[in-house]
Amino acid sequence: MGKKQRLQSPSGMHDILPEDQKYFDKLYNVAENLATFYGFEKIETPIMEFTELYEKGTGLGTDIVEKQMFSLRTKGGDHLTLRPEFTPGIIRSFIQHGMMSLPQPVKLFSIGSVFRYESPQAGRFRQFRQIDFEVFGERSPAIDAQVIQAFYNLLSELKFKNLVIEVNSIGANCCRPYFKKVLTSHLRSHLNSLCLDCKRRARENPLRFLDCKEEKCQPIKAQAPQIIDHLCEECHNHFKETLEFLDELGLPYRLNPYLVRGLDYYTKTVFEIFADVVVQDKVLPLALVGGGRFDNLGKIVGGKDIPACGAAAGVERIVSGMKENKLRIVSESKKEVFLAQVGDLAKKKSLKLFEEFRQAKVPVAESLSKDSLKVQLARADRLNVRYALILGQKEALDKTVILRDMKNGTQDTIKIEKAVNEIKKRLKRKR
Ligand code: AMP
């Protein structure tokens, strides 16, 4: 490995620098408040699971499992994989900890990194973060609508405009196998005109043909049978009711018969929420949220019948959008006061004064390592503080301090022991 490589983060994995943290904090904060409102409780599962969990859960035929997993073998011989998505780990935990015996539904949410070995490009990383909401133990389409609503609200609160919710139903074991046959026979009759991937999909995973983006496949797609015309009565009614709930909530959705979401475990409702986001100077319609119902996953993973529905939002993509939306974020750590000092005695006294402010929970900035008053006041200016406290040699001897109002430039000399209370009083008045 060359020197240059060692000084770079791995491909598709990024540092989140201090100046960006406020966007992540804000997003997590809005997500946690919404989670609390909708009754979701926080859960944290290990960042790795047994590889088999994803092979069974996410599914062997999926892109994630076939091409995108970061897997390793431990010294003890276990096959582990960095989570490429939250859902299998959370349902594993749900079963392992007997949450079926809790009053249902159980609503869980989680926030953290996921890992997929993708080709890195704009808006597509190998390590990215997701906000994940899951509801277990409830078959009602009201839950499908509520999950969509919660994520729609998350994006609206962060000032995303022109959001598009795309919805579809992909049926379940009762009707999907038949639809797959109908679709496969359509694909077979056009096999020579299909792209290379879809030729393979026609054999292995025909539903994935529906979201193929290749030019070649588009005319065949336009004539393809649509799954909503082949839903059984139960799946049809579930979809109809989900849409009625969305209508009732006034959510702007669009039916997309080609949305299949590429994972084996989805049943009935699938959805995505899109917005135009500027990523690396390009405006892209990006999926910010994706999810759906997965009534079979409990059976696949642990032999338990657990109706469920959930979704995940892509944190980095949302943060790109938040920056674009010019979201004003008031930093929690905004300092209102700056403590400047000149001379050895003043430096010693200001150390103590700084501690008194900490105990009084008043955020104060300082530059104790700097000696020049000019440099210190320039920093106070940059931080846009309202007040500066200036402690010089004379003040230190007199046990006083100069309090300067940075807005109007007025100055008062006050007793040092009164400084904390005086600042508190003035800050309160200002609010
Ligand atoms: P998925 O689990 O693939 O449905 O993804 C849910 C959301 O995560 C998507 O809507 C995106 O916002 C985000 N996402 C998925 N893959 C990536 C990636 N490779 N890089 C960044 N964000 C992603």
What is the residue-averaged pLDDT of the chain? 93
Q: How confident is the model at residue 204 (pLDDT cuts 50, 70, 90)?
A: confident
Q: Say yes or no to pLDDT of 87 above 70.
A: yes
Q: Say yes or no to pLDDT of 2 above 60.
A: no
The Cα 203–Cα 341 span in angstroms is 76
So where are the chain's domains? 18-175+231-324, 337-430
Q: Which ligand 1 atom minimizes the distance to the CA of 124?
A: 20
* Cross-strand pairs, 124: 121
CA 159 from chain centre, in angstroms, equals 15
The Cα 28–Cα 319 span in angstroms is 11
The Cα 402–Cα 413 span in angstroms is 4
CATH superfamily of 18-175+231-324: Bira Bifunctional Protein; Domain 2 (3.30.930.10)
Mutate to test the pocket of ligand 1, among 125, 158, 208 (most ligand atoms within 8 A of CB): 125
Ligand 1 first shell, C-beta below 6 A = 85, 116, 118, 123-125, 128, 130, 287-290, 312, 314, 316-317
Q: Which ligand 1 atom minimizes the distance to the CA of 288?
A: 12
Q: How confident is the model at residue 4 (pLDDT cuts 50, 70, 90)?
A: low
Omega before residue 177 within 30° of 0, cis: no
Q: Say yes or no to pLDDT of 1 above 80.
A: no
For atom 20 of ligand 1, the residue with the nearest CA is 124
CA of 70 to the centre of ligand 1 (A): 16
Q: Pick the more confident residue, 427 or 26.
A: 26
Quote the pLDDT of residue 5: 65
CB atoms near residue 75 (< 10 Å): 5
For residue range 259-289, what is the model confidence (pLDDT) as tens digits?
A: 999 887 899 999 999 998 877 777 888 999 9
Strand-pair category, 267-279 with 282-293: antiparallel
The Cα 13–Cα 430 span in angstroms is 44
SS3 8: coil
CB-neighbour burial class of residue 147 (10 A; exposed 0-12, middle 13-18, buried 19+): buried
The Cα 338–Cα 361 span in angstroms is 14
Instruction: List b or e across 331-345, with b for residues whose CB sees 16 or more CB atoms inside 10 angstroms.
Output: eeeebbbbbbbbbeb
For residue range 283-306, what is the model confidence (pLDDT) as tens digits?
A: 888 999 999 999 999 999 998 999
Q: Say yes or no to pLDDT of 334 above 90.
A: no
For atom 21 of ligand 1, the residue with the nearest CA is 124
Helix axes 176-188, 196-204, angle to 10 degrees: 140
CA of 274 to the centre of ligand 1 (A): 11
For atom 18 of ligand 1, the residue with the nearest CA is 124
For atom 8 of ligand 1, the residue with the nearest CA is 314
Q: Which of 40-54, 112-126, 137-151, 275-289 has the lowest mean pLDDT?
A: 275-289
SS3 408: coil
CA of 15 to the centre of ligand 1 (A): 18
Q: Which ligand 1 atom minimizes the distance to the CA of 261?
A: 4
H or E element at residue 84: none
For atom 15 of ligand 1, the residue with the nearest CA is 314
Evaluate if pTM is beyond 0.85.
yes
Residue found under tokens 């996410």: 58
CA of 293 to the centre of ligand 1 (A): 17
Q: Which ligand 1 atom minimizes the distance to the CA of 118?
A: 19
H or E element at residue 353: helix 344-359
User: Which of 68, 45, 77, 108 is closest to 306 using CA atoms?
Assistant: 108
Q: Which ligand 1 atom minimizes the distance to the CA of 286?
A: 12
* 18-175+231-324 and 337-430 agree in CATH topology: no
CA of 234 to the centre of ligand 1 (A): 30
The Cα 249–Cα 251 span in angstroms is 6
CA of 267 to the centre of ligand 1 (A): 19
Q: Say yes or no to pLDDT of 328 above 90.
A: no
Quote the pLDDT of residue 121: 86
Mutate to test the pocket of ligand 1, among 289, 297, 309 (most ligand atoms within 8 A of CB): 289
% of the chain exceeding 90 in pLDDT: 78
- pLDDT (average), residues 222-227: 94
Q: What's the CA dihedral at 372, 378, 380, 382 to 10 degrees?
A: -150
CA of 261 to the centre of ligand 1 (A): 11
**Are residues 225 and 186 in contact, defined by beta-carbon separation less than 8 angstroms?**
yes
% of the chain exceeding 70 in pLDDT: 97
Query: Does the 337-430 domain belong in CATH 3.40.50.800?
Result: yes
- Size (the chain), residues: 431
Amino acid occupying residue 249: L
DSSP codes joined into one string, 282-311: EEEEEEEEEEEE-TTHHHHHHS----EEEE
Strand-pair category, 387-391 with 337-341: parallel
For residue range 130-148, what is the model confidence (pLDDT) as tens digits?
A: 999 999 999 999 999 999 9
The DSSP code for 121 is B
CA of 315 to the centre of ligand 1 (A): 8
For the chain, counts of helices (H) and of strands (E): 16, 16
Integer-rounded Cα radius of gyration of the chain = 28
